[in-house]
Amino acid sequence: MNQNDLKNLTIENARYLLDSRQVSSLELTESYLERIDNTESDINSFVTVSKDTAINDAKNADTLIGSGNQKLLTGIPLQLKDNLCTRGIRTTCSSKMLENFIPPYDAFVTEKLKNQGAVLLGKGNLDEFAMGSSTENSAFQSTKNPFDITRVPGGSSGGPAASVAASQCLFSLGSDTGGSIRQPASLCGVVGLKPTYGRVSRYGLIAFASSLDQIGPITHTVKDSAMVLNNIAGFDSNDSTSLNVPVPNYLETIDKGIKGFKIGVPKEYFHEGIDPEIEKIIRDSLKVLENLGAEITEISLPLTEYALSVYYIIAPSEASANLTRYDGVKYGFNYIESESMWDGIEKTRQFGFGDEVKRRILLGTYALSSGYYDAFYLKAQKVRTLIRKEFEDAFSNFDVLAMPTSPSTAFKLNEKMDDPMQMYLNDIFTIPANIAGIPSISIPAGMSHELPVGLQMMSGALQEEKLFQAAYAFEQATEWHKIKPEI
């Protein structure tokens, strides 16, 4: 297949081509590996390209297809964010701490995809330990935005979003702790979904903030997103937060339309810091939804303004606890020229972690320290409960909520690296969904100065069906998802 064919390919039509024997998985995989070779020096979206694994996976997929035993994702080339464990393939979290770590087991989602016969092309770059909004915090390289390689792709799942946007793979899996799937999806003009907390097992996802982290797909289309979620969701006894509830077939309801849907538009997401062009694009998108039969109502979620503050107490606190395991003793980087055990642990963390990771560990350790626990961490948890209740009340009256995904389009590389607060504000619209544990999706909604703009939708817990219905209806009524970067 040629490069232009790849730019227009989705999981849905790739499945048809594979099943009708118009293309083999091996041919498809080789085309994507060639595409990676041609574009990776410009984008830097991969930490590891697993060529031999991909070729072997593709051959096995062709055998399954030949015997008529294929499944929905059999033979489909994909990328995994490099904080998802892959047995026999290094998993680095884009950190020097895990630069040479090769997991002895697969993450739950990795195993699910293997059982489907999907093809793993490699591992996607991210902000170190998923802490960042631009993928500039990677210890190895900065990923570039395929629409403009002088700009960031967003973060922390910048590698996965850029890779899908540049047609280096058919889909990728990312993780979303405060917007890390949806914000880069918005900035790269693709579809990014954060499922309900517990809908997808976190087993094998290297932890950042355990009560916030969630795995989800980054795809070209909403239907592709539903296809992937169908195949990675489900109960897992290895994850104590995994929800033991049935997983519906999202494809059965995705095209039912939104006539009669009640869509709430929280006014707090249109504050003075938002780019005026982005606000206009989102307002125009709401008119599209209204023309499709939805009832649009402005609402207020006054506790939204506290979500960012709550996040930057809870997330660093959990990170501080989770990252204590990196002491250089069992695995990962080890500073061997130390004078004592304690000196070794101190130096291992000094040289193994990057600046942003250290900053968040310090914030979290402070918030959890004696004398400050009640004032910061405990209070943040109480406000979190109030935010969750506010969303529950909203979804008792509305099917979905609609708002911008990001307050700006992709910004220039190095533009915000020296100002952590400005960087943190990029997640101001996405963080509330993580605080509340509800599903949220970002879909392409327009272009501003030739850069993509995302429309974000949220729904109640385990209401991904409604989310897909609304997102699919909008997508089918517009052409924004068809715009591809020239790279």
**Residues in the chain, how many?**
487
| Catalytic status, residue 225 | no
CA distances from 232 to 113, 204, 383, 463 (A): 7, 13, 31, 16
462 within a domain of the structure (yes/no): yes
250 within a domain of the structure (yes/no): yes
Query: With b meaning 16 or more CB within 10 Å and e meaning fewer, what string describes 401-410?
Result: bbbbbbbbbb
- Asked whether the predicted pLDDT for residue 129 surpasses 80, the reply is yes
* Active-site residue identified among 156, 167, 285, 440: 156
Say which DSSP state 378 is in.
I
Q: How far apart are CA 402 and CA 286, in angstroms?
A: 8
251 within a domain of the structure (yes/no): yes
**For residue 43, what is the enclosing H or E element?**
helix 25-43
Distance of CA 339 to the CA centre of its chain: 41
Q: How far apart are CA 137 and CA 357, in angstroms?
A: 9
Model confidence over 388-447: pLDDT tens digits?
999 999 999 999 999 999 999 999 999 999 888 889 888 999 999 999 999 999 999 999
Please give the full DSSP string across 448-480, using - where no structure is assigned.
ETTEEEEEEEEESTT-HHHHHHHHHHHHHH-SG
Q: How far apart are CA 463 and CA 338, in angstroms?
A: 52
Model confidence over 469-479: pLDDT tens digits?
999 999 999 99
Determine contact, residues 107/205, Cβ cutoff 8 Å.
yes
pLDDT for res 114: 98
The verdict on pTM exceeding 0.95 is: yes
Amino acid identity of 53?
Answer: T
Number of domains in the chain: 1
**N- to C-terminal Cα separation, the chain:** 17
CATH number of the domain bearing residue 232: 3.90.1300.10
Determine contact, residues 122/106, Cβ cutoff 8 Å.
no
| Catalytic status, residue 25 | no
172 within a domain of the structure (yes/no): yes
Spell out the residues 6+ positions from residue 42 whose beta carbon is closer than 8 angstroms to its own.
144, 149, 487
107 within a domain of the structure (yes/no): yes
* Active-site residue identified among 95, 180, 317, 440: 180
Q: Average per-residue pLDDT in the chain?
A: 96
| Domain boundaries, position 428 | 3-260+398-482
- Asked whether the predicted pLDDT for residue 263 surpasses 90, the reply is yes
pLDDT for res 194: 98
pLDDT for res 420: 82
Question: Strand 440-448 relative to strand 215-219: parallel, antiparallel, unpaired?
Answer: unpaired
Amino acid identity of 276?
Answer: P
Which two tokens mark 61?
């997929």
385 within a domain of the structure (yes/no): no
Model confidence over 316-348: pLDDT tens digits?
999 999 999 999 888 899 988 888 888 888 999
Determine contact, residues 116/61, Cβ cutoff 8 Å.
no
- List strand residue ranges (DSSP E) for 337-413, in order: 400-404
Confidence of residue 452 (pLDDT cuts 50, 70, 90): very high
| Catalytic status, residue 156 | yes
Q: How far apart are CA 450 and CA 362, in angstroms?
A: 39
368 within a domain of the structure (yes/no): no
- Asked whether the predicted pLDDT for residue 192 surpasses 90, the reply is yes
* Active-site residue identified among 24, 45, 81, 416: 81
430 within a domain of the structure (yes/no): yes
pLDDT for res 2: 78
